[in-house]
Amino acid sequence: MENDVLIELSLAVAPRNIQGVARPVRIWLYIGLVMVFFQVVIGGVTRLTDSGLSITEWAVIQGTLPPLNHAEWLDAFEQYKIAAKKQYESLHADMTLSEFKVIYFWEYFHRLWARLMGFVFVFPFLFFLWKKWMPSWLLRRLGVVILLAMVAATAGWVMVKSGLNNDQRTWVSAYKLITHLGIATTLFAYLFWTCLKAGATPRGRDGRHQYLRRFAWGLTVLLVVQILFGGLMAGMRAGLLHPYWPAFVEGERLWYALGQTDQADLAGVVNYERAVFVKAVVQVVHRALAYLLTGLVIWLVVRAKRRDISPLLNRGLNLLIILLVTQFTLGVLTVINSFGSIPVTYGTLHQGVALLLLAALLFVNFQLRPVRN
C-alpha cells in the first residue's frame, strides 16, 4: 500500500509525455545539451588562445586541481617549455609566468568543464534510473551519448599529444583537431535530437513533404562538412594567409599560394605549416561552401514557405535564416580581422553560432520527419 502511494506521488511530480519521458528528465537532457554546447565553445577559445598545450599530461583524477603554489606553477611552466618546445620558442619565448597562467586557465577550464559534465550526467541518471522515469528507447540513446563522450575525450587527449614533444608542430595536428571537433559535433547533434524526441508531440502535416526532408538532410551533411573545414581553417591558421573579403581584394596573395602546386603532395598535406598551397585550398573550399550553403538554405526556406507547413516549422525556418545571416557575417568579420592572429571573440562566436545553425537545421529535419514513425 505504501509503495503504491509512493508511485502515485512520483508520477504526480514527474508526469510523462507521449514518449514516456518525465519532465525532470527532459530538463536534465537540455541542461546536458547546453553544457556540451559550452564545452565545444570553450574548446574553441582554448584553441584560439594557443592554450591547448599548456597542460602536458593527462591526469583524470590528479588533474582536477591546478597548481596551488608558486613552486608548482614554475614546474608546470617548465614542463610546458620542454614538451611544447616548438610553440614556446616560436610564439611565447618572452612569455611570463603570469601570461602562462592565462593559457593554462583555458585548458584547465576546458578539462574541468568536461569533468563537471560527467557529474551532472551520472548522478541524475542513476536517480532517474532508480525512479524508472526513462523508457528503454531513451536508455539506448543515452548509451550512445556516453560512448560518444568517452570517444571525444580520448580524441581530445590524442589531439593534445600530437603537439607535445614534436619539433615539427607549432600547434596540435589540425587533422586530429577536426577529429575531436567532429566527434564533439556529433555528440551535440545526437543529444539535441534526443532532446527533441524526448519532448516530441504527435507528428503533424509537415511529414508529408518528402522532398523537403531529403533536401534538408543533405544540407545537414553539407553543414557538418563545412564545420569540419572551419576546424581546418583554425587548426592550420589558414585564415591568416588571406585575411580579406571578398577573395579578389588583394587577391594576388591567394592566387600566388594556389599556384604553389609543387606542394600538392602527401608531404605538403602532412606538413601543412610550411605548405601555403594546402592552406589556400582549405580557405577557398571553406569560402565556397559558405556561399553554397547560403544559397541552398535560402532555396529550402523559400520552397518550404510556399507549401502547407505548420507554424512550428515556419518558426524553425525563420530562425534558420536569422542564424545563417549571423553566421555568414561572423565568418566575414573573423576573416577580415585575422591579421597576425585569429580574433578570439569573432572566432569563438563563429564556432558557437555554427552549432546553433546545426541545431536549427536539425529542428527543421525533426519537424519534417515521416508521419508513419
Instruction: Please tell me the predicted confidence (pLDDT) of residue 63.
Output: 67
* Closest C-alpha to 109, from 163, 185, 43, 37: 43
* Angle formed at CA 156 by CA 153 and CA 162, multiple of 5 degrees: 150
CB proximity list for 160: less than 8 A, separation 6 or greater: 52, 53, 55, 58, 172
Secondary structure (3-state) at 193: helix
CA distance 346 to 332: 9
* pLDDT of the residue at 64: 77
Quote the pLDDT of residue 4: 46
- pTM value? 0.89
Which grid cell is 247?
Answer: 577573395
Please, how many CA atoms are within 13 Å of residue 36, restricted to the half-sphere of its CB? 29
Residue type, 199: G
pLDDT value, residue 66: 87
Which DSSP state fits 244?
-
pLDDT in the model for residue 21: 81
Closest CA to 91 of 133, 127, 49: 49
Chain centroid offset of residue 350 CA: 11
C-alpha–C-alpha distance, residues 241 and 252, integer Å? 11
Looking up cell 545539451 gives 33
Q: Is the dihedral of CA 245, 250, 251, 257 positive or negative?
A: negative
Per-residue b/e over 5-22, b at no fewer than 16 CB within 10 Å?
A: eeeeeeeeebeeeeeebb
Local confidence pLDDT in tens for the 373 residues of the chain: 444 444 444 444 455 555 668 889 999 999 999 999 999 999 999 999 988 888 888 776 656 788 889 999 999 999 988 888 888 888 888 889 999 999 999 999 999 999 999 999 999 999 999 988 888 999 999 999 999 999 999 998 889 888 887 767 777 888 999 999 999 999 999 999 999 998 876 666 676 788 888 999 999 999 999 999 999 999 888 888 889 888 777 777 788 888 888 787 787 788 888 888 888 899 999 999 999 999 999 999 999 998 888 888 999 999 999 999 999 999 999 999 988 889 999 999 999 999 999 999 999 999 988 865 4
Where does the chain have alpha helices with state H? 2-13, 23-48, 70-83, 85-91, 97-131, 136-161, 174-198, 210-236, 251-258, 266-270, 276-305, 311-336, 344-367
- The residue count for the chain: 373
